[in-house]
Amino acid sequence: MRNIVPCWILLALVARMPEARAEDAPRPPAPAQAPPAEVIETLPERVIPPPRQALGPSSGGEERTLLPLRAETPTLEVPYATAVLDASEVRERRNVRSLPDSLLRLPSTVVQKTGPGQASPFLRGFTGYHNLLLLDGVRLNNSTFRSGPNQYWSTVDAYTVDRLEVARGPHSVLWGSDAVGGSVYVVPRQRTCFACGTHANAALLVRHATAEEATFVRVEVEGNRNRLGWLGGITWKDHGTLESGAGPLPNTAYDEVCGDLRLDWQLGGGRTLTLAWQHVDQDDVPRTHSTVYSVPFEGTSVGSELRRDLDQERDLAYVRYAWDDAGGPFPSGHALVSWQQQSERQVRERTGNRLDTSGFTVNTLGVAVQLDRPTRWGTLSVGADAWHDEVDSFRDNYVAGAWQSSDIQGPLGDDARYDLLGLYAQQHLVHGCWEAWAGLRLTHAAADASRVDDPRVAGSNPATPGNVIAVEDDWTALVGSLRALCHAGQGWNLYGGISQAFRAPSLSDLTAFETTSVVEVPAPGLDPDRYVALELGTKVERRNASASASLWTTRLQDTIIRSPTGALVGGVPEVRKDNVGDGWVWGLEVEGAWRFARAWTALGNLWWMDGEVDQFDASQQEVRGNFDRLPPLTSLLALRYEPAGGRLWAQAEWVHAGTADRLSLQNQADTQRIPPGGTPGYDLLNVRAGYRLTGRSDLLLAVENVGDVDYRIHGSGQNEPGRNIVLGLDLRF
């Protein structure tokens, strides 16, 4: 904790740093003359807030975000801890492998990887269905999501991202269930030029990484015909065998193909009609740590399965109608209708010539509307949303290639439905130097699964009397949020607030019958999770420096906890699910950036969290233990060279993570992923550079993990790549 003190001192110094005075600025030349080039070169540039500065270029202009308040707002004036990553940061500066990898190096964020293609972000200690991912306002989350790490965020193609917005902390009032640890909003790439006539452009993006043995190719076309614009592309991804710092990691290769198309029609009068489609197909994505091919790390155990591969498909189509400054009682707003299908099929091959295939398909229909109205106090936003899931699930068993039986259900209850309905309102208030946002949401959730395996009856044979049951339940809750921001000085804001979050039991909670890192059985009769979060923070932005800090805590009440029973099923720990999880988690985040010379910027962050929660031990006694997968003290320091108007940029970064040894009972039982005593810490050096070939094309180079360190992110089922040379080419025509 001693390392935190200097960061607070730096933050205080930045807050007290005076603005440049008029008499200190260079005198302008006579009106008839152009400013001399040497004067222009010496003018200091504005540094954008640290969440963006930490990962992206120092571009001018005011950074804005939509996610936290459901309205485009400068990040400096948002009463939440946020980060905004634009397309250049995701595609060029980071040149990432997957969407979750885009979030690496952000405060209070850990990207756990069960396997290649199965990455799951932890935001302020929460993962799985406790974090919400939105695709242009459409929920990726549905009732099949698990509580622990899941692979679904990896089904979003990172190279379709125009802007990635991250807001840490609860956002259930505006966005509904699941927004507990944090929310991420993906703004897809779209046509922004609508010049008269017909215009077309094309792009080619190529990425190759040596330690990942991976090659990506994306072909993209865009254009417009007067006010009708289009943008679409196809991405091919060949993921090869990973090479860690200690050598190859077998059984880590898979293939992926993605496609997307978006049409935007500018109707005039601030009105826009959007039609969009996305498709992702992943084949034979391995869950290596469960198999005999896993490579032990610091004492982890080896799996027993001969094969465990996952196929995934996702299709999304939606229509959005938006208006702005259109007059009437609600001059701004939008309406959205979406359809999304997510399918997964898992193949598990075990000893004794046994093989089983299982999976499910979930179809989600969504409808959402928001209306915005200026009032004498500020802006009133009201809205409603509805999401309906239809789920089919299966499991077939084979011996020596011959079908033997079909179970009652697959990973989830079969012939199931789930509804999530919400009404919300938020009033923005302005008084003097103060701003406040007060909001309420009424949520109703209902689950209905017709075919569920009764855990009290042995076996999964549907012909066994009493072995097929139905699960039906519903819940209603009202949650609120109150946030305030004080303009303490020019470029300096203080903020704080209290936010509630509510998460109704999902089909995964109620009906899951599957083996992941644990063995789950159906648990009807669960109650909702409830959370209350408190946060205090500050943001400072000066001409050549910026900083932010946040102190936060989240209180848990009746949280559904998975506790080990002490029994093993096929070598995997069995768990029970109960609403026993009262507890807390808290943390501190500090980040900043300082341009100390015309072309040089130093930046970094440091964060820490801790927490405890009630759970059952192996003797079924309720105990208070560590929060699940608590990360260690983590920091980032970086130095960037980027001359104004230059073609070359370069950055070196040092990443430090301490030993993760504060283990929950479930972590201690997860011997395939977490070493005995915890996950060792590590120090990494990464170097990145880019060169602008033409006005719109870039050559990219990175050497990640320069020291070839053999390391693992806490809770992951595989180690990260060793020394990894990443080459990229982004050509635009």
> What contacts 269, CB < 8 A, 6 or more positions away?
323, 326
Report residue 389: phi and psi, to 5°: -105, 140
Model confidence over 570-621: pLDDT tens digits? 667 788 899 999 999 999 999 999 999 999 999 999 999 999 999 988 888 8
Model confidence over 455-505: pLDDT tens digits? 889 889 999 999 999 999 999 999 999 999 999 999 999 999 999 998 999
Model confidence over 514-542: pLDDT tens digits? 877 778 889 999 999 999 999 999 999 99
> Which residue, among 721, 683, 728, 681, has the nearest Cα to 704 in the 3D structure?
721
Q: Is the pLDDT of residue 45 over 80?
A: no
Neighbours of 92 (CB within 10 A): 20
Helix ranges (DSSP H) in 57-162: 87-88
Interatomic CA distance for residues 397 and 451, integer angstroms? 18
Banded pLDDT at 58 (limits 50, 70, 90)? very low
pLDDT at 61: 52
What number is the average pLDDT over the span 418-445? 97
Report residue 146: phi and psi, to 5°: -85, 165
Average pLDDT of the chain to the nearest whole number: 90
**Percent of all residues in the chain with a pLDDT value above 90, rounded to a whole number:** 80
Model confidence over 87-122: pLDDT tens digits? 888 887 888 899 999 999 999 999 999 998 899 999
pLDDT at 29: 36
Banded pLDDT at 210 (limits 50, 70, 90)? very high
Residue type, 464: T
pLDDT at 140: 97
What number is the average pLDDT over the span 415-422? 98
307 versus 39: the higher-pLDDT residue is: 307
Length in residues, the chain: 733
**Pairing of the two strands 131-135 and 228-239:** unpaired
What is the 3-class SS of 63-78, one letter each residue? CEECCCCCCCEEHHHC
The tally of CA atoms less than 13 A away on the side-chain side of residue 90 is 25
Q: Is the pLDDT of residue 346 over 90?
A: yes
What is the 3-class SS of 546-559, one letter each residue? EEEEEEEEEEEEEE
What number is the average pLDDT over the span 7-18? 41
**Percent of all residues in the chain with a pLDDT value above 70, rounded to a whole number:** 91
Report residue 6: phi and psi, to 5°: -60, -30
What number is the average pLDDT over the span 322-338? 93
pLDDT at 3: 40
Token reading at 641: 């060279």
Model confidence over 228-272: pLDDT tens digits? 999 999 999 999 999 999 999 999 999 999 999 999 999 998 999
Banded pLDDT at 51 (limits 50, 70, 90)? very low
Model confidence over 297-317: pLDDT tens digits? 999 999 999 999 999 999 999
Helix ranges (DSSP H) in 44-127: 50-53, 87-88
Banded pLDDT at 26 (limits 50, 70, 90)? very low
Q: Is the pLDDT of residue 48 over 90?
A: no
Model confidence over 624-683: pLDDT tens digits? 999 999 999 999 999 999 998 889 999 999 999 999 999 998 899 899 999 999 999 999
What number is the average pLDDT over the span 152-165? 95
Contact between 710 and 245 (Cβ < 8 Å): yes
Interatomic CA distance for residues 427 and 710, integer angstroms? 51
Q: Is the pLDDT of residue 417 over 90?
A: yes
pLDDT at 514: 84
Q: Is the pLDDT of residue 345 over 60?
A: yes
Q: Is the pLDDT of residue 15 over 50?
A: no
